[in-house]
Amino acid sequence: MEIKFCKDCQYFNNTKLGIECNRPDGVSLVTGLPKFRKIAAETERGLDALGCGTTARYFTIKSI
């Protein structure tokens, strides 16, 4: 089994405020634009039921 690290995912965002997961979370019913989760990456990886979880359900490799 290959380990998928958040740092290799296109939704990974390392800012001065912290390390976030900015994966899409549907469409805003107000604006019609995509809305983003913006949650601590550590928390997202710990949410097996609703989040990315330990299996990296929403992992998408960064394009170079």
Among 13, 5, 18, 11, CA closest to 63: 11
Would the pTM count as exceeding 0.75?
yes
Q: What is the pLDDT of residue 49?
A: 87
Using the 8-state DSSP alphabet, how is residue 41 labeled? H
What tens digit of pLDDT does each residue of 23-41 get?
A: 998 999 999 999 988 899 9
Q: What is the pLDDT of residue 15?
A: 86
Low-confidence ranges of the chain (pLDDT < 70): 1, 64
In whole angstroms, what is the distance from residue 23 CA to residue 43 CA?
Answer: 13
Q: What is the pLDDT of residue 50?
A: 87
Residue 41, amino acid: A
